[in-house]
Amino acid sequence: MAAGVITIAGIVSVQSLALLNAKASAMRILNNARAVVQRNIDTAIGVPYTTAAVPAILATTPAGGTVWVDDGTANLENVVYLSNGTSTLVQGTLMRTVVAEPNSESQALLRVTFQLTYTYRKRNYTYSMTTLRAPD
């Protein structure tokens, strides 16, 4: 009887640890996705911008956005490289949307949105941030 209880407790413990590990991996990837999006938002906020000189990161896009390649080498953004026995590279598509934001001052105010979409363990995830940017 005691051996049966110990066996059941062991099975439940192993399943719980496997679930916790899977959730921890998903959170690490989400944190890396947040870092990629935050890096691009920070660049959009920090780049010099006047109405006479609009940098590429602040160029207006269609309302649906366009794919943004921040490293200049590939269409897919590397979100994370996992090495947990089997090496896994998680990549996603980074979309940039920049639209003019109407305002009562008629100022060249821009709404800048970056959205990173990726797939991990056959599930789709999206992380997005938006900011407003006015000329310097």
Give the count of domains, the chain: 1
Please tell me the predicted confidence (pLDDT) of residue 23: 82
The angle subtended at Cα 91 by Cα 90 and Cα 95, nearest 5°, is 145
pLDDT over 90 at 5, yes or no:
no
The angle subtended at Cα 108 by Cα 106 and Cα 113, nearest 5°, is 125
The DSSP code for 3 is H
Residue with token string 């994370």: 80
pTM of structure: 0.81
pLDDT over 90 at 39, yes or no:
yes
- Identify the helix (H) or strand (E) that includes residue 124: strand 123-133
Question: Could you tell me the residue range of the domain that residue 75 belongs to?
Answer: 2-133
